[in-house]
Structure formats: C-alpha cells, structure tokens
Amino acid sequence: MQKKARKGRMSLGSKVFDSVNYTLLALIGLITILPFIHVVGSSFATSAEIASTQFLLFPTKFTLDAYRFIFSTNTIFRALGVSVFITVAGTVWSMFFSILTAYGLSRKDLVGRRALNFLIVFTMLFNGGMIPTFLVVQQTGLLNTLWALIIPVTVNAFNMIILRSFFMNLPQGLEESAKIDGATDFGILFRIVIPVSLPSIATISLFYAVTYWNTYMHAILYLSDSNKWPVQVLLRQIVVLASGFSYDGTSYTDVPPPEVTVKMATIVVATVPVLLVYPFLQKYFAKGALLGSVKG
C-alpha cells in the first residue's frame, strides 16, 4: 500500500536518500556476514598462505588438511555424537512435554487453568538460580549423565506459551465436532490438533533443536567427564584454551596443519548444522519470534 502511494516521479532528494539507505544496509549486511566468510575461507587455506597473506577471505589454494586432521581424531566424532544425541533426543523429549502441557492449558473450560498458567509464567520472572538448581540436578542423580543437558530444561516456558497461543487460535468447532463424534481428549490432540498445527510444531521444534545444539553452559555445569562434552565445549577448548585435540593418538600422519586453520575448521563444524537448517528456520522463526515477543 505504502509502496504504491510513494511511486511516481522521484525527486532528487528521494534518490539521494535511497542511495544512502541502500548503501548503508548493504554495508550492515556485509559486516554481519564477513566474519563467517573469513572463518570458512581460512579453514580451507594452506599453511603457506596463512603464513604469508595479511588479509584472507578466499584462499587461492584450497586444502582440506585442517578437516582431515580434526576428523582423524576420536574427539570430534565423540563430541558431534553427543551433540547429535542431545539435539535429537532433547527435541523429541521437550516437544512431547511441551505439546501436552500447551494443549491442556489451551482448553478454556479447564478448572484451575489460570492458576496453572501462573505457576509456569512465574518461573520466567523468578528462579532459584544456579546453585539450588545444581543441587536439585545432583540430588536427582543426573549429574555427569547426558540427560543432565535435557531433563532440567524439559519445558521452556516461553516456547510452551507460544505453542499454547497457537492452539488457542485454532477454530473451536474443530474440537467440538470431534467430541460429538465420541473422540477422547487424547484422540482429539493426536488426530486433529497436531496434524493441523504442524507448521507451528515445526517452528517450536526448531527452536528447541537450535538451543540443544548450542548447549554449552549446562555441559560445563553438570558434566565433569570430558568424554561427554558436546561440540560447543570442545570448540571452546580448542579455540581459546588451545587444547582439546591430542596430537598423539590420531591417525593423521602428515605434518599437522597450522593451529589457526584447525580452530577455524572446528568453528565451521560446530556451525554448519545450524546453517543447514537456517533456510527452514527463517521462514518459521520470524512468525514464532513475533508471537513470543508480544505475548509474555
């Protein structure tokens, strides 16, 4: 509408405005993305080029040495395995609990609905904090198991509320007609509500999946065994503490690639899964984020 209204002959001022605006936006976009290109580019560079070139976005000679090196260790496979496990298992687990809770609380005829809602919303305003939560995780025997990265964050109140408002916006007649046909509440949920809400369910699943893939804090809080570290913790070890891959005990027989390219390659490996789902994420996420930011 507004676009149409402004069409027609453009004044000089308008043209200047446009060119400044487009240039600035292009710059913002470029600055946002350049660090990623730098990292990807460097991860494929040869040691000679790393040593000689001052500025590096695209290497002139590609090499996979850094990747061959990190994939010659068990460490990366173990860390990726852990991350894949907590992402897949965690997302399924969280969605199971979130859908059941969100659907139940979306039913307007439920006695005590407001109180139960408040019980959940209050946890967004106040929490016991790190130490008491740690003690609960310890008491429940989850410490140093991969489930410590999943069970303590089973339902994200925010995600549950988004899901609940999706369910609440479904047409009422849908459930009522099913009820008349004698469907049970579980039948209605699994045969009617879930199938018509698949886009929203996909959105929230992706929210959970990205959160689980990016898990770092809980891993360093609850896991002391380095064999159970997810890829984010490994990345931290390699980039900042410059440890992680033990140079001995690998099947890599050539001269090890420069440390820089190994770091870059590890960043890429930890990021690629998110970038692969990003095109799907983007479509659904804006919608979910919008709902999430208005409802509280």
Partner 1 sequence: MTSITVPKVKKTKAQVSELRQKRRAELWRRIKRNKMIYLMILPGIVYFLIFRYLPMYGLIISFQDYKPYLGITGSDWVGFAHFERLFTSPEFWTIFRNTLMLFGLQIFVYFPIPIIISLMLNEVRHTFFKRGIQTLIYVPHFMSWVVIVSISFVMLTLDGGIVNSLLEVLGLDKINFLMNADWFRPIYILQVIWREAGWGTIVFLAAITAVDPQLYEAAKIDGANRFKQMWHVTLPSIRSVIIVLLILKIGNVLELGFEHVYLLLNASNRNVGEIFDTYVYVAGLQQGQFSYSAAVGFFKGIVGLIMVVVANRLAKAFNEEGIY
E-assigned strands of 88-228?
A: none
With CB under 8 A as the contact rule, which of the stretches 62-70, 97-105, 196-204, 246-254 interacts with partner 1?
97-105
Whole-angstrom distance, CA of residue 118 vs CA of residue 115? 5
DSSP-H helix ranges across 140-197: 157-168, 172-180, 185-188, 194-196
| Site for partner 1, residues 152 to 211, rule: CB under 8 A | 152-155, 160, 184-186, 189, 210
Q: How far is the CB of 205 from partner 1 (least distance, A)?
A: 14
With CB under 8 A as the contact rule, which of the stretches 71-79, 106-114, 165-173, 193-201 interacts with partner 1?
106-114
109 vs 248 by CB, closer to partner 1: 109
Other C-beta atoms lying within 10 Å of the C-beta of residue 197: 21
- Contact string 35-74 vs partner 1 (x = CB under 8 A): xx-xx--x-------x---xxx------------------
Q: How far is the CB of 4 from partner 1 (least distance, A)?
A: 8
DSSP H or E segment with residue 125: helix 113-125
152 vs 250 by CB, closer to partner 1: 152
Whole-angstrom distance, CA of residue 141 vs CA of residue 147? 10
Inter-residue contact 75 to 244 (CB < 8 Å): yes
**Centroid of chain to Cα 259:** 27
88 binds partner 1 (CB under 8 A): no
Which residues does 288 contact at the CB level (< 8 Å), separation at least 6?
Answer: 162, 200, 203, 204, 207
The one among 91, 101, 159, 205 contacting partner 1 by CB under 8 A: 101
68 vs 239 by CB, closer to partner 1: 239
| Site for partner 1, residues 217 to 276, rule: CB under 8 A | 217, 221, 232-233, 235-236, 239-240, 260, 263-264, 267, 270-271, 274-275
